[in-house]
Structure 1
Amino acid sequence: MRRYLAVGLDCYLCLVTAGLLVRPHVDSPSRPGAVVLLLGPVLVLSFLNQVVLTALVGGSAGKLIMGIRVVSLPDAGRPAPGQLVRRWLHGLCWLPLQPWYGLRAHLARPDGVAGPAPRGCEEGDPYAEPYADPAGLRQVRRSDLAAHRRAAARRAL
C-alpha cells in the first residue's frame, strides 16, 4: 500500500508542478495546446524526480515522504544511474499498458475468470514475480534498510 501511495504522490507532485510551470503560457496564441505544452515539463520533472533525486538521496519525493528507499539488489546499496534510467523508462513504457493487458487477458478467457497466479508468485516469496524489477532494484522501508545494515555490520565483525 505504501508503494502505491508513493507512486500516487510522485504523479500528483509532477503534474501539479508542471501545470504551474506552463500555466502562464497556455493562453498564448503562438503555443500549441495545453496537453502538448504540458508533456515536456512532465517528462523532465519525472526524470529529475525518479532518476536524479533517487540517485542523490535514495528515493523520489513520494518515496521519501512515505519512508521508502530504493536499493540495488543483492547488496542493498545505492542504485547505479543506468539502473535508474532503465527503471524510469520501464515505468513510462510498460506500466501504463498494464490495464490494457489485464483487460485483454480477461476478455480472452471464455468464462471470464482469471487464471491461477503465475509461476513464482507464491505467498511469502520476497522475489516473487509481481515485485520483480527489470533493473534489479527494490523498494524497502527506511527502517527495514537501517535494520538490515546494522545486522550486516554485526555479521562482518
Structure 2
Amino acid sequence: MRRYLAVGLDCYLCLVTCGLLARPHVDTAGVSEIVGLLLGPTLAFSFLNQVVLTAIAGGGAGKLIMGIRVIRLPDAGRPGSWQLVRRWLYGLCRLPLQPWYALRSFLAGPGVLPLSAFWSSGYDDPVGLRQVRHSDLTTHRSAAADHR
C-alpha cells in the first residue's frame, strides 16, 4: 500500500508542479501549445524526480515522503544512473498500458492470458532494482555490518 501511495504522490506532485508552471500561459496559447506546455515540463519533472533525485537521495519525492528507498539487487547498494534511466523509460512506456492489457485479456475470455501476466507483483523490476522501506534497509545494513 505504501508503494502505491508513493507513486500517487509522485504523480500528484508532478502534475501540480507542471500545471502551476503552465497556468500563466494557458489563456494565450492554442491547444497544441498547451499540450507542449504540459508535456515538456511533465517529462522533465518526472525525469528529475525519478532519475536525478533517486540517484542523489535514494528515492523520488513520493518515495522519500513515504519512507521508501530504491536499491540495487543483490547487494542493496545505490542504483546506477543507467539503471535509473532504463527504469524511468520502462515506467513511461509499459506501466500506463497495463490496465488496457488487463481489460483486453478479461474481455477476451478465459484461456487467452491470465491477468497476472500483465499486473506485476510489485516486486518485479526489469533492471534489477527494488523498493524497500527505509527502516528495513537500515536494519539490513547494520546486520550486514555486524556479520562481517
1:46 aligns with 2:46: yes
Q: Deviations along 1:37-64, whole A, 9 cap, x unmatched?
A: 2000000000000000000000000000
Moved over 4 A (4+): 114-118
Report the TM-score when normalising by structure 1: 0.85
Q: What are the within-5 Å matches in structure 2 for residues 5-154 of structure 1? A: 5-29=5-29, 32-110=32-110, 115=114, 130-154=122-146
1:16 counterpart letter in structure 2: V
1:3 counterpart letter in structure 2: R
Query: Contact 1:31 / 1:37 at 8 angstroms: preserved in 2?
Result: no
Q: CA deviation at 1:36?
A: 3.1
Q: 1:96 to 1:115 in 2, by over 3 A?
A: closer
Q: Deviations along 1:128-155, whole A, 9 cap, x unmatched?
A: 8552101100000000000000110011
Query: Contact 1:50 / 1:84 at 8 angstroms: preserved in 2?
Result: yes
**How many residues matched?**
146
| C-alpha distance in 2 between matches for 1:96 and 1:29 | 28
Q: CA deviation at 1:32?
A: 3.4
1:13 counterpart letter in structure 2: L
More helix by share: 2
| C-alpha distance in 1 between matches for 2:19 and 2:34 | 9
Q: 1:117 to 1:25 in 2, by over 3 A?
A: closer
SS at match of 2:32: coil
Query: Contact 2:86 / 2:127 at 8 angstroms: preserved in 1?
Result: yes
Choose 1 or 2 for highest CA Rg: 1
Calculate percent identity across the aligned residue pairs: 69
* Two-structure CA RMSD over aligned residues (Å): 2.3
| C-alpha distance in 2 between matches for 1:135 and 1:38 | 29
Q: Deviations along 1:58-90, whole A, 9 cap, x unmatched?
A: 000000000000000000000000000000000
Q: CA deviation at 1:33?
A: 4.1
Q: Which moved more, 1:67-76 or 1:28-37?
A: 28-37
Q: Deviations along 1:71-116, whole A, 9 cap, x unmatched?
A: 00000000000000000000000000001110111011159xx858
SS at match of 2:71: strand
1:147 counterpart letter in structure 2: T
| C-alpha distance in 1 between matches for 2:66 and 2:47 | 19
1:98 counterpart letter in structure 2: Q
Query: Contact 2:2 / 2:66 at 8 angstroms: preserved in 1?
Result: yes
Q: Deviations along 1:20-45, whole A, 9 cap, x unmatched?
A: 11111112247834233200000000
